[in-house]
Amino acid sequence: MRTAATIIAMRWSIAWGTVKHSSWQMVGAIISLLMAIGICLASWQAALALGGWLPKADPGDRQRMGTILVLFLVGLTLGVILIQLTFLGQGSILGPSRFVLYGIPDGQLQLGLYLAGLTGPAGLTGLVCFLALTAIYARMGVGASIMALIAALLAVMVMLALSRAVLDLLSTMMVSQRTRSGLYLLVTVVIMVLCMLPSLLSSEIMNGMAVDADSMKSVADLLAWTPLGAAVRLPEDLILGSWWALAGRLFMELATLALCFMIGMVCLRHDRLHTGARAERPTASKGLGMLGRSRNTVDAMIARLLIYLRQDSRKLSIYPLLLVLMVLYAILFRQMPMLIWLGPVLGALILEIPEGNALAYDGLALRMEIAAGVKGREDRLSRVRSHLIVAMPCMLLLGLVTLILSGAMKGGRDLAISLDMLAVTVGLLLSGLGVAQIFSALLIYPVPSMDQPFTSPQGRAVAQGFLPMLQLLASLVIMLPTLLVALLSMTKGGMLPLWLPMPVALANGLITLAIGVALGSRIFDRRQSAILLTLDRYASLQS
């Protein structure tokens, strides 16, 4: 246990050393502490209220409370695992690789790292919150209180053990950049869906279905026999005298802890034995691929950017968002199908956000381009064409799907309005791309590294939040002529012909794109040295 105690002390020493040397880190730590205290107080207040209600509750109400507790624990455990996946590849300060030189036995090291996580800020907050279970069952007898205490400890320990086991397994198996990028895309889609779930539920997507504690009882009973939700059923099993169920759930929780510990040991030994041999296997060269079809500098630059895009999960994650938006608006506005066009319009704006900071996504690889003497116009044209090769087909396909879902294929006024909206979407895509050519050469802000797409460089939160919004605002202001014409023509009794927004939107977008390429080229030529110095400074934030 001395090794574990040393690792725990090291964990808190590193945390304190990081906080005290940065005023922003200190402010963040104080805010996090206040939030943790608030969560703990809210948990105990709710538990005390339930504790006073439980002895007087009838069996049906107690059963509903048990169902809610199981579902809450399952959701929380899955959420913790999902959050852990966003840090895959980040390389923790107390990762096993940091202790290779010290000769610590695998078992002691694994136990020390686990306890360091359990006694960290998040682990202690979760433990204090779950100890509120004792307040719920305090009036149900000493035995129930003791079992609630055991259940609270097991819930937090299993939650942490499962998240670490999943992270260890994926870190061991996901050795190539391609597999990691695929996982990041999957996690991104899941997070998007979860963020939009409240909107879907509030839109009565479950209309006609009774979604309450009674209807979810069978699901909760099943989940209570899994490590995800078994812990909170232990006090109720003791109260009801279900001794076999109590023993079975206790055994399952302890077996889960042992299994997760063994998984961590296996992964730790595998990593030690294969250190240095986990890089992707080199593949035999089969020509120059896209670069082989290059006829000039712009073509070669387009090929390079498309190759980079295929490997960059930070940019690729934008495209699944288009599909999620399409599904969301199709459900929210199923009674007003023409409003589904908000999905493609918003998607066209979102697609241009990474392009407004394209040089930061390239990083220091831009040195090669500048050293080769690439002119600003060649750089801007290559970025425009490479982006349109991918984005334009996606937006046209999204527009076709929207056209079908909106029911406008029947013809009439709805079809004309839908074609106008498709033209507006394309115009927004073009104008946003033109604005991005100016922003990317003029206003650069740091981005996460390709290996850690969910992290955020410290100290640049204002720039990361404000500059993309400024870019979107500029794109919308430039498209005001199109929006004004569309408003005057699409309203009933409009002053302008219904077909007029189509050519206006396309002309608006093309003119903005041409101006953006011209201005962006001149800015890029003048600021090459400043751009390289900025990217060199930001590279240290990604390490």
Q: Hunting for tokens 């100016």 — which residue is that? A: 438
Cα distances (Å, whole numbers) of residue 65 to 47, 71, 79, 127, 259: 11, 10, 21, 20, 30
Residue 302's H or E segment, with its range, is helix 297-311
- The string of pLDDT tens digits covering residues 19-58 is 777 676 777 778 888 888 998 898 888 888 888 888 787 7
Mean pLDDT, range 463-485, rounded to an integer: 83
Mean pLDDT, range 240-244, rounded to an integer: 86
Other C-beta atoms within 10 Å of 102: how many? Answer: 8
Q: Which residues have C-beta within 8 Å of that of residue 374, sequence separation ≥ 6? A: 297, 301
Residue of higher predicted confidence among 43 and 498: 43
pLDDT at residue 515, rounded to an integer:
93
Euclidean distance between the first and the last CA atom of the chain, given in angstroms as a whole number: 33
Pick from 404, 395, 403, 405: which is nearest to 428 by CA? 395
pLDDT at 208 exceeding the cut of 70: no
Q: Which two tokens stand for residue 21?
A: 């040397």
Q: How far apart are CA 527 and CA 534, in angstroms?
A: 10
Q: Which two tokens stand for residue 415?
A: 């079809």
pLDDT band at 519 (very low <50, low <70, confident <90, very high): very high
pLDDT at 209 exceeding the cut of 50: no
Q: Hunting for tokens 């996690």 — which residue is that? A: 187
pLDDT at 507 exceeding the cut of 90: yes
- Pick the range with the lowest mean pLDDT from 111-125, 177-191, 466-480, 486-500: 177-191
Counting other chains too, the contacts that 286-294 makes at CB distance below 8 Å and 24 or more residues apart are: none
Mean pLDDT, range 335-362, rounded to an integer: 84
Q: Hunting for tokens 């670490």 — which residue is that? A: 164
Q: Which two tokens stand for residue 483?
A: 């929006």
Using CB atoms within 10 Å of the CB of residue 510, give its burial: 0 to 12 exposed, 13 to 18 middle, 19+ buried.
Answer: middle
Residue of higher predicted confidence among 429 and 178: 429
- The string of pLDDT tens digits covering residues 416-472 is 888 888 899 999 999 999 999 998 888 887 777 666 665 555 445 555 667 788 888
Mean pLDDT, range 252-260, rounded to an integer: 91
pLDDT at residue 142, rounded to an integer:
86
Other C-beta atoms within 10 Å of 1: how many? Answer: 10
pLDDT at 225 exceeding the cut of 80: yes
pLDDT band at 518 (very low <50, low <70, confident <90, very high): very high
pLDDT at 90 exceeding the cut of 50: no
Q: How far apart are CA 235 and CA 148, in angstroms?
A: 5
CA 47 to chain centre: 32
Mean pLDDT, range 275-279, rounded to an integer: 50
Q: Which residues have C-beta within 8 Å of that of residue 68, sequence separation ≥ 6? A: 213
pLDDT at residue 168, rounded to an integer:
79
Mean pLDDT, range 314-343, rounded to an integer: 79
pLDDT at residue 510, rounded to an integer:
93
Enter the pTM of the model. Answer: 0.65
- Pick the range with the lowest mean pLDDT from 260-264, 315-319, 502-506: 315-319
Other C-beta atoms within 10 Å of 198: how many? Answer: 9
Counting other chains too, the contacts that 45-49 makes at CB distance below 8 Å and 24 or more residues apart are: 46/132, 47/132, 47/133, 47/134, 47/135, 47/136, 48/132, 48/135
Mean pLDDT, range 505-516, rounded to an integer: 92
Q: Which two tokens stand for residue 228?
A: 């995800």
Share of the chain above pLDDT 90, in %: 8
Crossing angle between the packed helical segments 177-202 and 318-332, to the nearest 10 degrees: 20
Q: Are 317 and 184 in contact (CB under 8 A)?
A: yes
Provide the 3-class DSSP secondary structure of residue 479. coil
pLDDT at residue 259, rounded to an integer:
92
Q: Which residues have C-beta within 8 Å of that of residue 402, sequence separation ≥ 6? A: 326, 340, 341, 343, 344, 418, 421, 422
Looking at residue 290, its amino acid is M
CA 268 to chain centre: 27
Mean pLDDT, range 515-539, rounded to an integer: 85
